[in-house]
Amino acid sequence: MNVDLTRAEWRKARASQANGECVEVAFIDDVVAMRDSKDTTGPVLVFTAREWAAFKGGVQAGEFDN
């Protein structure tokens, strides 16, 4: 999926640590982009709205908890 990220407004969680170990997300049109906050010029993952909704549902259901 090829997405123009020049308009991206990157955000990270308000509760993120000051040490920079977090991810940032940007909502662009009907996709969601995610990147490592320590490497802002590095790779970006791009998800469809459906994929993002499934991910959020898994987080809320505790599917990724240890």
Structural domain harbouring 36: 23-60
For residue 18, tell me if it sits in a domain.
Answer: no
pLDDT digits (tens, 9 = 90+) for 7-22: 899 998 877 766 667 8
Count of Cβ atoms closer than 10 Å to residue 33 Cβ: 19
For residue 44, tell me if it sits in a domain.
Answer: yes
Domain count within the chain: 1
Rg (C-alpha) for the chain, rounded Å, is 13
For residue 2, tell me if it sits in a domain.
Answer: no
User: In this structure, which amino acid lies at residue 19?
Assistant: N
For residue 42, tell me if it sits in a domain.
Answer: yes
> Which residues contact residue 56 at a Cβ distance below 8 angstroms, ignoring those fewer than 6 apart?
none
For residue 32, tell me if it sits in a domain.
Answer: yes
For residue 52, tell me if it sits in a domain.
Answer: yes
pLDDT digits (tens, 9 = 90+) for 21-64: 789 999 998 999 999 988 989 999 999 999 999 999 999 999 99
What does the alpha-carbon distance between residue 14 and residue 35 come to, in Å, rounded to a whole number? 16
For residue 43, tell me if it sits in a domain.
Answer: yes
